[in-house]
Amino acid sequence: MGLLTDPRAGSGKIIKFLLKWERPLCFFLYISGIVWILLLALPIFNDNTYFSENALLPGLVTKESNLEQTTKQYYTHLINEMKRYPDVMPYAWLAAKLNQLHLDVFTHNFTLIYPFQEQQFTGQNIYGIIRAPRAASTEAIVVSVPFRPIHSIYLDTAPSIALLLAFAKFCRKQKYWAKDIIFLITEHEQLGIQAWLDAYHGVTSGNGGVLISGDLPGRAGSIQTAINLELHSMKITSIDVKIEGLNGRLPNLDLFNLAQNMIAKEGIRQSFQRRFDVKYKNKFKNWWYHFNTLLMMITSQATGIPTGNHGLFHRFGIEAITLEGFEKPGQQSSDGNFYQVGRIVESIVRSLNNLLERFHQSYFFYLLPSTDTYISIGLYIRSLVLIIGGIFVKAFSMWQRLQVSTSTEDKKNIVVKQSKDDGFDIGIITSEILWAHICGVTIATSPFALTYVGKKMDFRTEDSIYFGFVVITILTLIWPFYFRRQMKYKNAALICVIALVELGTVLMCIAMHNFSLALLAAVIYVPYVFILPIMPKQNFTKFHRMLSFGWISLHPFMIASLIIMCYTYVNFSSDSLPLILFRGYRAIKQAFVFSIVDSMIYGNWLYNVTISTMFPIWFLFWNILCSNIL
Amino acid sequence: MMHFKIPLLSFIFITFIKCVSPQNDFFDEELMLKPLPSNHVYAYFQFTTVWETTKDVTTFQHSHLFPRGLGEIISRHNVDELHLTLTKGLWHYQKWGYPYHDAGPGAEITTWFHKDVKNVDDEWKGLTNALAGLFCASLNFVNPANSVSPEYTFRPTGVVDRPGGVVDSVNSSHLRYSSLPREIVCTENLTPFKKLLPCDSKKGLATLLNSAYIHNTNYHSIGIHFRVICSNAICTKTSLELRQSVSLIYDTVTDVSQDWSIRKFFGMGIRKACPLATLSNIYIDISSNNTNQIYELVPSPSAKIVSLRGGQLNEIAVYDIRSHSSKGIFNIQVLYNTTHTAGLNYPSILYANRYIIGYGQERGSLVTKIYNNYWQTLDIILLESIPWYLPVYLHSVTITCGTKNIIPLAQRYLPGKERKSPYYLEFILRLPPQSVTKFSIEMDYSFLKWQEYPPDANHGFYMGPAIITALLPIARNYTALPLDGSTITSSFNASREGYLVQLRTESLLISLPTPDFSMPYNVICLACTAVALAFGPLHNISTKRLVLKRVEMDWKEKLLSFLMKKIVKPKKKEE
């Protein structure tokens, strides 16, 4: 403790330097962090991907499948069947087809009890298992497809179901399988797969009593990997590999590489974030293109929402990716190429069949600026460390200043030291911090109360939650003005130091789980924290007032609304401004409900973490900014 | 002239002895082919050697048909009963019915030692090591840490001499059971297995055991079953019985046509019966040849047997190899009149599934689901032998059927000890009619020492199967031989009070927390070793001083060194 509290510690050379150059140093760290991230997209700064796992033996097998004709047959049958039942999954037909292939076929029923209204939805998944002739059902590979009815708002997946059936027919005749293959067709997008995985592992991932997954009648050992197929057309010109999972989890890089290599090998264009690998001669253009791909990955990872059904496997230690196939609208010349697509799936699954161990060799934490280069955690984490380092520098120098001021005071009037107004008022500080955090937890659990009240007033769920949040935001904004308290500078500064340390720690902790989220949060919050005017009120200028007023826009609800507004503007920039605003307003309402429901069903922690950690930190600063500092 | 005469004389002498005291043993070879409703074909070979003699020390000094290599091991370790199976794949009871011999994935060995054996653990170790050598299997990994002595599940199937005629004094302390689910079964195990047969693989049904063909199946299991049986009805004389079995499951879906034949399955036809065999038959179960699936056998069988057993009616075509092979190599073909059709599957009345629930590398739950499809209650014995590295908690045992709790009729539990003994759990349960009973227990995944991880550490650890023993009231889908029978023929029309099954559930693969055995890890290990090696001498050099010390000797050594000097010096001078 002596090291930390020794009053003479403030006289060290480094500390003097820190105190002198605090603000420039903070900004320097921040900017160098940003520059580092920008540089990462440069081809010099990232490495080419490679296979770490030798056992994969990618592309070494002789591919035998020719699924073109069978896929077409299944497709025409399936389309007829889907037209007959436009709103539901043709359970009987799918089960019959899988049964004809002599698979072990099972159905799985699940129920969703919608959390805010007492509504029930039911769904059914169908799966067939090929038992590996070379093993005792100890390991399994999953090939899954989400079923989408004709009237679905999402792109059609019927071709991938046809491919799945054709591939199952092919696999059933092979003798080399060492892992069981589960062919899974799920209903209701991510709900189906989540329910199936929950049932397979006998757990409830979200809140209890929301998604009731029931039990599975048949199983096949521990699932090693999963491939999710979303092919939107019978003529695939490009395949996009989607990796971002729930809460920003990623599959092992080897699996991603495997998929990209196999796609490239069959002569279909591969893409990542729907962006093909383009090589510009102009270096700046090249960098800009890669940087945009990187940025798209960061933003999609930061939301913590899975980009496909693969994203829900990651929680269970199952490496999974989605292959999404697109058709180029103009091209009508080629006559369909499920021969190649089938071979891609075959070679991926056969490589996975070769695996001796779980995927563990390659990276689990990485960023991708293109399909064939990667940035490892060792490189990208530095940028965030630099940015967050600024926070700690700021906190430390503030703390030192407090120390220095007390120590100078000490020297001046050692006799008066006993007087009442030295030191910190622990009571005020702790109560301030405690209340802020209690507020955070209360708001995090408020949606139930909000919807309950809303229901009494005949509001819809999204309305009641949205208006509830608006009220909460306004309350939190006026609160400090209402109780216009006086606070000594010292206490305010100490609260500030604690809040800064908490911010830094929270960001680092989030970075451990979801780097992108932490990075975006840091990029937005950190510079503002550096310039916050924490000083006695008499020194306030107009500029300072504006700065503290600007802090409102960083309220988690405000910033979420702003981001969604911007997103709407970008997507619907052709519409008139009022229409965009209206669209944005509706999107915000839905986004709030979705993020809450996601946390209940899937265990997405974006909402919980933001409200229970970022909000209290924001609130602490807001309180200090608004209180009368003496 | 004399040189010629002596061997001739001795030959005559030996044949004379043989004729006077004929070996009272016989050898049977049989093959049962059973088309299953799931379009698989079950092929079961059984080679039976029965030797009418008592089992004592001198018995195996000379043997005729009984394999001497195995006999010596049995007599040396004083084994009463031995069951050893080496299996690849999982038997699907739901689809395939009950096999002749239940066997869990990997290697499984059950042994009853003679009651006079003092140190069972030593004999167990010796036996498994000897068998490991004999069968080229990793049975040497059997040790007390993965062996149990279950109290209820296993009963002796042969004759046991009991002291003073006490009937119920089967002492399970002389029983050892162990399973090695990681074991991979291959040609190297099949070759020594074939060498135990009197005709080796040169004649008879054993010629069909071509490794390339039989390892291409969906399931294969080789087994050695040794026991002592009664030779007469009142059991005054005993015989030694050795059954060597090969179970195979062929998949007929993979081919274009559903037709199958001996040649297609085994790569060759049958040339000749083993001349040493008294019985060499092939049976084909043709009960499924009815309205749904119609097929014909070419050539037509020598005889047809109708077997009614425990409510199950089977029609069996019998081929006597001797009569058929007189015209040279012969092949049995089964030709279907219809295209691919699945037969009707009458589900087995008792089957089970086992799986792990939970995720992560910290803890999980082991669940065993037992299905009773019978209209009455069934009593079963559930045996769980859980490796020590998966500590289980007895208080977390829940046995439920729907929402109802089931209270076991009896329960045995022996907690495991780290690196010493596995967790042993045995329950007797009464399953309600038409029900699914769920047994679950919580367990932890422990972190091992770094040398204890096997190669490919991230593959995971295997847990052997649970065994569910029951006496089924009806013989639906039941094939096993009755307790008093030795050959497949004895299972025809063999209705008994109950039909014993010992179901094996799936073996499980569990990922324990595994250290990162990657290059940095190896580098750290190596660097640490190098530092440790370097540290010792460096520390010594830097902290100790080298001082010359006068050697002090007592008078004997002085004398010796004096003499040595005397001897050595003159020599040097000479040089």
Per-window interface: A 560-599 vs B, CB < 8 A: none
Q: Scanning every residue of chain B, which has its alpha carbon at the shortest distance from the alpha carbon of A355?
A: B459
As a whole number, mean pLDDT of residues B424-439 equals 94
Structure confidence at residue A419 (pLDDT): 42
Model pLDDT for residues B157-189, shown as the tens digit of each residue: 888 766 544 455 677 889 999 999 999 998 899
Structure confidence at residue A429 (pLDDT): 87
Q: Scanning every residue of chain B, which has its alpha carbon at the shortest distance from the alpha carbon of A360?
A: B458
Q: Do A173 and B39 touch (CB under 8 A)?
A: no
B26 three-class SS:
strand
Q: Quick one: A448 and A563 in the same domain?
A: yes
Read off the tokens for B131.
């068998």
Read off the tokens for A141.
């590979």
Instruction: Divide the 630 residues of chain A into consecutive groups of 10 and give the mean pLDDT of each group.
Output: 49 81 91 93 86 86 88 92 88 92 92 84 94 90 93 89 94 91 93 94 88 90 94 90 93 94 90 88 91 93 92 94 86 71 93 91 91 91 93 90 66 46 77 90 88 84 87 85 76 90 94 93 91 77 82 88 89 83 90 90 90 91 82
Q: Which residues of A touch B106 (CB under 8 A)?
A: 136
Q: Do A358 and B105 touch (CB under 8 A)?
A: no
Q: A108 to chain B, minimum CA–CA distance in Å?
A: 17
Q: Which residues of B touch A172 (CB under 8 A)?
A: 253-254
Strands A486-487 vs B25-35: parallel, antiparallel or unpaired: unpaired
**By C-alpha distance, which of A314, A310, A309 is closest to A190?**
A309
Please indicate if any CB of chain A lies within 8 Å of the CB of B218: yes
Q: Do B342 and A138 touch (CB under 8 A)?
A: no
Q: Scanning every residue of chain B, which has its alpha carbon at the shortest distance from the alpha carbon of A99?
A: B342
Q: Which of B90, B249, B461, B521 to mutate to test the interface with A (most CBs of A within 10 A)?
A: B90
Instruction: Answer yes or no: is A170 within a domain.
Output: yes
Are the C-beta atoms of B421 and B146 separated by less than 8 Å? Answer: no
Q: Quick one: A464 and A347 in the same domain?
A: no
**By C-alpha distance, which of B82, B101, B108, B131 is closest to B179?**
B108
CA–CA separation, A282 and B69 (whole Å)? 79
Strands B508-510 vs B350-357: parallel, antiparallel or unpaired: unpaired
Q: How far is CA B144 from CA B121, B345, B421, B562, in A?
A: 7, 42, 6, 59
**By C-alpha distance, which of A388, A630, A387 is closest to A485?**
A630
Model pLDDT for residues B447-484, shown as the tens digit of each residue: 998 888 888 888 999 999 999 999 999 988 898 998 88
Instruction: Answer yes or no: is A23 within a domain.
Output: no
Q: Which of A102, A137, A356 lies closest to B90 in CB terms? A: A137
Please indicate if any CB of chain A lies within 8 Å of the CB of B459: yes
Q: In degrees rounded to 5, what are phi and psi of residue B356?
A: -105, 135
AA letter at A160: S
Instruction: Answer yes or no: is A174 within a domain.
Output: yes
Q: Do B458 and A360 touch (CB under 8 A)?
A: yes
Q: Which residues of A touch B507 (CB under 8 A)?
A: 136, 138
Q: Quick one: A431 and A350 in the same domain?
A: no
Strands of B208-285, DSSP E: 219-230, 238-251, 260-261, 279-285
Instruction: Answer yes or no: is A443 within a domain.
Output: yes
Q: Which of B257, B355, B463 to mutate to test the interface with A (most CBs of A within 10 A)?
A: B355
CA–CA separation, B7 and A616 (whole Å)? 105
Q: Do B508 and A138 touch (CB under 8 A)?
A: yes
- Mean pLDDT score of chain B, rounded to an integer? 87
Q: Do A358 and B510 touch (CB under 8 A)?
A: no
Q: Quick one: A449 and A342 in the same domain?
A: no
Strands B175-180 vs B147-148: parallel, antiparallel or unpaired: antiparallel
Model pLDDT for residues B350-400, shown as the tens digit of each residue: 999 999 999 988 999 999 999 999 999 999 999 999 999 999 999 999 999
CA–CA separation, A517 and A302 (whole Å)? 4
Q: Which residues of A touch B459 (CB under 8 A)?
A: 356-358
Angle between helices A489-513 and A426-444 (to 10 degrees): 40
Q: Is the pTM of the predicted complex or chain greater than 0.95?
A: no
Q: Scanning every residue of chain B, which has its alpha carbon at the shortest distance from the alpha carbon of A198?
A: B358
Q: Do B38 and A134 touch (CB under 8 A)?
A: no
SS (H, E, C) A350-371: HHHHHCCCCCCCCCCCEECCCC
Q: In degrees rounded to 5, what are phi and psi of residue A489?
A: -55, -40
Are the C-beta atoms of B403 and B477 separated by less than 8 Å? Answer: no
CA–CA separation, A601 and B264 (whole Å)? 53
Strands of B202-340, DSSP E: 219-230, 238-251, 260-261, 279-285, 295-298, 303-309, 312-320, 333-336
Please indicate if any CB of chain A lies within 8 Å of the CB of B518: yes
Q: Scanning every residue of chain B, which has its alpha carbon at the shortest distance from the alpha carbon of A136?
A: B89
CA–CA separation, B277 and B241 (whole Å)? 15
Q: Do B509 and A222 touch (CB under 8 A)?
A: yes
Residue B270 carries which DSSP code?
B
Q: Quick one: A181 and A323 in the same domain?
A: yes
**By C-alpha distance, which of A251, A302, A243, A296 is closest to A518?**
A302
Please indicate if any CB of chain A lies within 8 Å of the CB of B519: no
Structure confidence at residue B295 (pLDDT): 85
Q: Which residues of B touch A170 (CB under 8 A)?
A: none
Q: Which of A133, A138, A219 lies closest to B353 in CB terms? A: A219
Q: How far is CA A73 from the centre of its chain?
A: 39
Strands B398-401 vs B378-386: parallel, antiparallel or unpaired: unpaired
As a whole number, mean pLDDT of residues B542-553 equals 82
CA–CA separation, B519 and B237 (whole Å)? 65
Structure confidence at residue B18 (pLDDT): 44
Q: How far is CA A271 from CA A266, A294, B363, in A?
A: 14, 13, 39
pLDDT band at residue B426 using 50, 70 and 90 as cut-offs: very high
**By C-alpha distance, which of A301, A321, A302 is closest to A310?**
A321
Q: Which of B89, B357, B511 lies closest to A203 in CB terms? A: B357
Q: For chain A, what is the domain count?
A: 2
Q: Which residues of A touch B367 (CB under 8 A)?
A: 202
Structure confidence at residue B172 (pLDDT): 86
Model pLDDT for residues B18-32, shown as the tens digit of each residue: 444 457 889 999 999
Structure confidence at residue A338 (pLDDT): 87
Q: Quick one: A338 and A461 in the same domain?
A: no
Domain range for A569 is 420-485+537-629
Q: Quick one: A93 and A226 in the same domain?
A: yes
> Which among A355, A371, A387 is the end of a domain?
A371
CA–CA separation, A417 and A433 (whole Å)? 27
Model pLDDT for residues B220-273, shown as the tens digit of each residue: 999 999 999 988 888 888 899 999 999 999 998 888 788 899 999 998 888 888
Instruction: Answer yes or no: is A300 within a domain.
Output: yes
Q: Do A317 and B511 touch (CB under 8 A)?
A: yes
Integer distance in angstroms from the first to the last C-alpha of chain B? 67
Q: Do B459 and A358 touch (CB under 8 A)?
A: yes
Among the listed ranges B153-167, B187-201, B520-534, which one has the minimum average pLDDT value?
A: B153-167
Structure confidence at residue A501 (pLDDT): 94
Helices (H), B316-464: 321-324
Per-window interface: B 348-407 vs A, CB < 8 A: 353, 355-361, 365, 367
Q: Which of B89, B217, B254 lies closest to A173 in CB terms? A: B254
Q: Which residues of A touch B184 (CB under 8 A)?
A: none
As a whole number, mean pLDDT of residues B49-70 equals 86
Alpha-carbon torsion A227, A232, A238, A241, what sign? negative
Q: Which of B39, B355, B507 lies closest to A219 in CB terms? A: B355
Q: Do B511 and A201 touch (CB under 8 A)?
A: no
B202 three-class SS:
coil
Q: Quick one: A283 and A425 in the same domain?
A: no
Structure confidence at residue A408 (pLDDT): 55
Q: Do B89 and A175 touch (CB under 8 A)?
A: no
Structure confidence at residue A409 (pLDDT): 53
AA letter at B455: P
Q: Quick one: A361 and A451 in the same domain?
A: no
Residue A176: give its domain's CATH number.
3.40.630.10
Instruction: Answer yes or no: is A265 within a domain.
Output: yes
SS (H, E, C) A54-77: HHHCCCCCCCCCCCHHHHHHHHHH
Read off the tokens for A406.
């007390």
Q: Which of B95, B216, B460 lies closest to A222 in CB terms? A: B460
Q: How far is CA A94 from CA A107, A161, B174, in A?
A: 10, 9, 54
> Which among A371, A386, A410 is the end of a domain?
A371
Q: Quick one: A214 and A283 in the same domain?
A: yes
Complex ipTM above 0.85?
yes
Q: Which of B509, B510, B514, B518 to mutate to test the interface with A (most CBs of A within 10 A)?
A: B509
Q: Scanning every residue of chain B, which has its alpha carbon at the shortest distance from the alpha carbon of A169?
A: B254
Please indicate if any CB of chain B lies within 8 Å of the CB of A360: yes
Q: Do B38 and A102 touch (CB under 8 A)?
A: yes
Q: Quick one: A91 and A214 in the same domain?
A: yes
Q: What is the b/e burial string over A484-522, where b = at least 16 CB atoms within 10 angstroms of the residue's CB?
A: eeebebbbbbbbbbbbbbbbbebbbebbeebbbbbbbbb
Are the C-beta atoms of B447 and B202 separated by less than 8 Å? Answer: no
Percent helix, strand and coil across chain A, each to the nearest 5: 60, 15, 30
Q: Do B358 and A202 touch (CB under 8 A)?
A: yes
Q: Do B216 and A175 touch (CB under 8 A)?
A: yes
Q: In degrees rounded to 5, what are phi and psi of residue B338?
A: -105, 170
Q: Which of A174, A201, A218 lies closest to B357 in CB terms? A: A201
Q: Which of B38, B105, B353 lies closest to A136 in CB terms? A: B105
Residue A331 carries which DSSP code?
-
Q: Which residues of A touch B356 (CB under 8 A)?
A: 222
> Which among A371, A400, A431 is the end of a domain?
A371
Instruction: Answer yes or no: is A292 within a domain.
Output: yes
Q: In degrees rounded to 5, what are phi and psi of residue B197?
A: -80, 145
Q: Do A138 and B353 touch (CB under 8 A)?
A: no
pLDDT band at residue B1 using 50, 70 and 90 as cut-offs: very low
Structure confidence at residue A420 (pLDDT): 47
Are the C-beta atoms of B89 and B133 separated by less than 8 Å? Answer: no
Q: Quick one: A365 and A459 in the same domain?
A: no
Model pLDDT for residues B200-234, shown as the tens digit of each residue: 888 889 999 998 888 889 999 999 999 999 888 88
Instruction: Answer yes or no: is A397 within a domain.
Output: no
Q: How far is CA B465 from the centre of its chain?
A: 13
CA–CA separation, B198 and A189 (whole Å)? 63
Q: Which of A138, A201, A358 lies closest to B458 in CB terms? A: A358
Number of residue pairs across A and B with CB atoms under 8 Å? 87
